[in-house]
Amino acid sequence: MAHLKKITDSSPLEIKEGKFPIYICRCQLSKNLPYCDGTHQCIKDEEGPNALYVYEGDRRIKL
Ligand code: FES
């Protein structure tokens, strides 16, 4: 299933509560929403704000 999303945040939100921090996904690509699963790492090298990408599973296509 392809995902077409405008990503505005490429890192998780860290919530410190209790003994261990919780990381909330802000890129919306996690397979374990609402939690970050590290998938945001694949968008770190995207080109500027006008570039458009499609993510399909582990595959990325630049349009
Ligand atoms: S912020 Fe979305 S997977 Fe980490």
Which among 31, 36, 34 is positioned nearest to 11, based on CA atoms? 36
Of ligand 1's atoms, which has the minimum distance to the CA of residue 9? 1
> For residue 14, what are the domain limits?
2-62
For 22, phi then psi, to 5°, come to -110, 140
Structure tokens at 14: 């860290």
Pairwise CA distance, residues 55 & 5, whole Å? 9
Residue from 6, 22, 25, 58 to probe ligand 1 pocket by mutation (most atoms less than 8 Å from CB): 25
Residue 37, ligand 1, Cβ within 6 A: yes
State how many domains the chain has. Answer: 1
What's 29's domain CATH number?
3.40.5
User: What is the reported pTM?
Assistant: 0.72
Which pLDDT tens digit goes with each residue over 2-36? 656 666 677 899 999 889 999 999 988 899 999 99
CB atoms within 10 A of CB 42: 16
Of ligand 1's atoms, which has the minimum distance to the CA of residue 27? 2
